[in-house]
């Protein structure tokens, strides 16, 4: 199932076919052609971590494929920040060679769509400004595993998400330093630095995404994650960070940042990450999966937990609002019939970070369905139901994320 080698013999790619795309893990935006890549897998021994993430903690992770690795729900702790060793991985293309982080400061990014376009090295960027932002990084397909329709694509549960600290220079500062944004530029377009396989139309495969230019107010060109230089796996030496937007917009090994009049025509933008009707295919007329919306889930007790002792239990989880902060989290111990306010714990790291929450509950022996429901600072309430869509995107349903536990 979707097991992807990190490098492929050239002959596999020359075919230029859907199977070549699937072979490099691109099944997600060639829907229809890709269903076979996601056939259910027989229970098997856990897959080992691929070499480029061998430093991660295998006990905390579910390895779906070499390019899709998620954090186990039970591995999320009570602290706000997700350690790099536990953070999920999602690569649309195999990661570039580690040689790109040998001399980090020499990495170049081309800044376009400004009055004085030019290439800047990471060394130069570091002199221009610095800011740190805590942010939820979440794949658009997080929660896809709870869609009964079994959309093609990785069946992520809750773990294609983490809360991480990024340090870099604000994009708006870079734009100002280069004379300001070209009039009429409505989008901020970032391009990934992967070497593209030969034999395919570059637009069909390149990781290039556009967000509204207004997103530059919060965007960073980041070189540190959680206080250390960004690992290759997470996009070092330089990553575009767009707080509040889904994972795919946070372009790893960013080599070009352009203020553009139009959205990129890359397939990952035009056809990938679209809200398509069930059974349908992505196309440019459909809404794009972009800003994240209010969501929460319980991490402890973990789903299907056994051995939870009757008595006092600390029901804990995370909540975030995408572009907004979190105002309130409620927890239900009876599958959503009745709700109690949970307490937000830990430091508030700003509106793009998640908040930890806790409800202390006295639970007699029995079986329980625990659910959480967040409200953002704009008053948006996490919905009970998912919005059905062919790609399995944006699952924020509190009901889908509920946890069944046996208390003895």
Ligand X SMILES: Nc1nc2c(c(=O)[nH]1)N[C@H]1C(S)=C(S)[C@@H](COP(=O)(O)O)O[C@H]1N2
With 0-12 CB in 10 A as exposed, 13-18 as middle and 19+ as buried, what is 337? exposed
Residues 162-201 contacting ligand X, CB under 6 A = 192, 194
Give me the least distance between CB of 36 and ligand X, in Å please.
Answer: 21
Find where tokens 């007329």 sit: 285
- Which partner in Mo ion, ligand X, none is near 234 (CB below 5 to 8 A by kind)? ligand X
Find where tokens 């206080």 sit: 227
Q: Which two tokens stand for residue 266?
A: 């890359």
- Which partner in ligand X, Mo ion, none is near 351 (CB below 5 to 8 A by kind)? none
CA distances from 320 to 290, 371, 381, 398 (A): 15, 15, 11, 13
- Which partner in Mo ion, ligand X, none is near 197 (CB below 5 to 8 A by kind)? none
145 lines the binding site for Mo ion (CB under 5 A): no
137 lines the binding site for ligand X (CB under 6 A): yes
22 lines the binding site for ligand X (CB under 6 A): no
- Residues 331, 314: Cα–Cα separation, whole Å: 11
Total residues at interface with ligand X (CB under 6 A): 20
Q: Which two tokens stand for residue 167?
A: 């340090």
Give me the least distance between CB of 86 and ligand X, in Å please.
Answer: 11
92 lines the binding site for ligand X (CB under 6 A): yes
3-state SS, residue 250: coil
Phi, psi at 31, each rounded to 5°: -55, 145
Q: Of 146, 147, 223, 253, which lies in the binding site for ligand X, with binding defined by CB under 6 A?
A: 253
Q: Of 31, 144, 234, 256, which lies in the binding site for ligand X, with binding defined by CB under 6 A?
A: 234
As a residue count, the chain comes to 408
242 lines the binding site for Mo ion (CB under 5 A): no
252 lines the binding site for ligand X (CB under 6 A): yes
250 lines the binding site for ligand X (CB under 6 A): yes
DSSP 397: -
90 lines the binding site for ligand X (CB under 6 A): yes
Give the closest residue to 160 by CA, choosing from 177, 140, 178. 140
Give me the least distance between CB of 344 and ligand X, in Å please.
Answer: 25
Alpha helices per DSSP H over 156-287 = 171-177, 202-205, 267-270
Give me the least distance between CB of 303 and Mo ion, in Å please.
Answer: 23
What DSSP element (H or E) covers 358?
strand 355-363
Q: Which residues would be at the binding site for ligand X (CB under 6 A)?
A: 87-93, 137, 139, 192, 194, 207, 234-235, 247-248, 250-253
Q: Which residues would be at the binding site for Mo ion (CB under 5 A)?
A: 90, 139, 247-248
């Amino acid at each position: 199932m979707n097991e992807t080698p990190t490098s492929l013999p050239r002959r596999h790619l020359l075919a230029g076919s859907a199977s070549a795309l699937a072979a490099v893990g691109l099944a997600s935006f060639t829907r229809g052609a890709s269903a076979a890549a996601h056939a259910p897998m027989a229970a098997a021994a856990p897959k080992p971590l691929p070499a480029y993430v061998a430093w991660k903690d295998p006990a905390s992770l579910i390895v779906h494929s070499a390019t899709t690795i998620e954090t186990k729900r039970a591995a999320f702790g009570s602290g706000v920040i997700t350690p790099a060793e536990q953070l999920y991985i999602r690569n649309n293309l195999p990661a570039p060679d580690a040689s790109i982080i040998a001399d980090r400061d020499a990495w170049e990014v081309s800044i376009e769509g400004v009055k004085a376009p030019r290439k800047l090295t990471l060394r130069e960027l570091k002199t221009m400004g610095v800011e740190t932002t805590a942010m939820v990084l979440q794949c658009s397909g997080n929660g896809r595993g709870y869609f009964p329709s079994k959309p093609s694509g990785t069946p992520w549960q809750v773990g294609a998400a983490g809360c991480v600290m990024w340090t870099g220079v604000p994009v708006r500062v870079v734009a100002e330093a280069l004379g300001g944004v070209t009039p009429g530029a409505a989008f901020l377009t970032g391009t990934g630095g992967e070497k593209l396989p030969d034999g395919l139309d570059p637009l069909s495969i390149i990781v290039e995404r556009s967000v509204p230019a207004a997103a530059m107010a919060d965007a960073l060109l980041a070189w540190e994650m959680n206080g250390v230089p960004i690992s290759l796996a997470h996009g070092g030496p330089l990553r575009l960070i767009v707080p509040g937007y889904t994972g795919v917009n946070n372009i790893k090994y960013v080599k070009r940042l352009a203020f553009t009049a139009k959205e990129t025509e890359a397939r990952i933008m035009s056809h990938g990450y679209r809200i398509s009707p069930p059974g349908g295919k992505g196309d440019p007329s459909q809404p794009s999966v972009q800003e994240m919306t209010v969501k929460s889930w319980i991490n402890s007790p973990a789903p299907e937990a056994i051995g939870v002792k009757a008595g006092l239990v600390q029901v804990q989880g995370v909540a975030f609002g995408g572009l907004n902060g979190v105002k309130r989290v409620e927890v239900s111990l009876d599958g959503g019939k009745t709700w109690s306010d949970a307490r937000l714990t830990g430091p508030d790291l700003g509106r793009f970070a998640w908040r930890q929450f806790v409800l202390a509950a006295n639970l007699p022996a029995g079986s329980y369905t625990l659910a959480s429901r967040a409200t953002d600072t704009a008053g948006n309430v996490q919905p009970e139901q998912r919005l059905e869509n062919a790609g399995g995107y944006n699952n924020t349903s509190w009901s889908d994320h509920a946890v069944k536990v046996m208390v003895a």
